[in-house]
Amino acid sequence: MDEIFKQQVYEVAKLIPKGRVSTYGAIAKAVGYPNHSRHVGKAMGGCPEDVPAHRVISSSGVLSVPEFQPRLEAEGIVVENLRIKNFKKLFWNPMDEL
């Protein structure tokens, strides 16, 4: 995977505010690769510690990594059965926010 792509993904992910979530697809679109959500997921799998990977979820509002649930809940996000409650309200779209 291209290092520039990964760095762009990390930079966008760092902008997601506490208490909000974004999706792999939204980040892919924001960095100019709208059909590469799986690549974003791969990049997030090996991201540096300063990247809030726990705030990046699937487009259906479901956590891809169950271990991230406590971190999200610590930010005030309610998670039920690995699904973000009020996902649409909490969704941070980098295309609208940047």
Task: Reply yes or no on whether the pLDDT at 67 is more than 80.
Answer: yes
User: How confident is the model at residue 97, as a pLDDT?
Assistant: 81
Task: Reply yes or no on whether the pLDDT at 84 is more than 90.
Answer: yes
Task: Reply yes or no on whether the pLDDT at 15 is more than 70.
Answer: yes
Mean pLDDT on 50-65: 95
Q: How far is CA 8 from CA 27, 30, 42, 80, 95, in A?
A: 9, 9, 13, 31, 14
Q: Where are the domains of the chain?
A: 3-90
Cβ(37)–Cβ(25) under 8 Å? yes
User: How confident is the model at residue 44, as a pLDDT?
Assistant: 95
Cβ(48)–Cβ(10) under 8 Å? yes
Residue with tokens 């891809």: 64
Residue 79 pLDDT grade (very low, low, confident, very high; cuts 50, 70, 90): very high
Mean per-residue pLDDT of the chain: 95
Specify whether the backbone of 96 is left (phi greater than 0), alpha (psi in -120 to 50) or beta: alpha
The domain defined by 3-90 carries CATH number 1.10.10.10 = yes
User: How confident is the model at residue 23, as a pLDDT?
Assistant: 97
pTM for the complete prediction?
A: 0.94
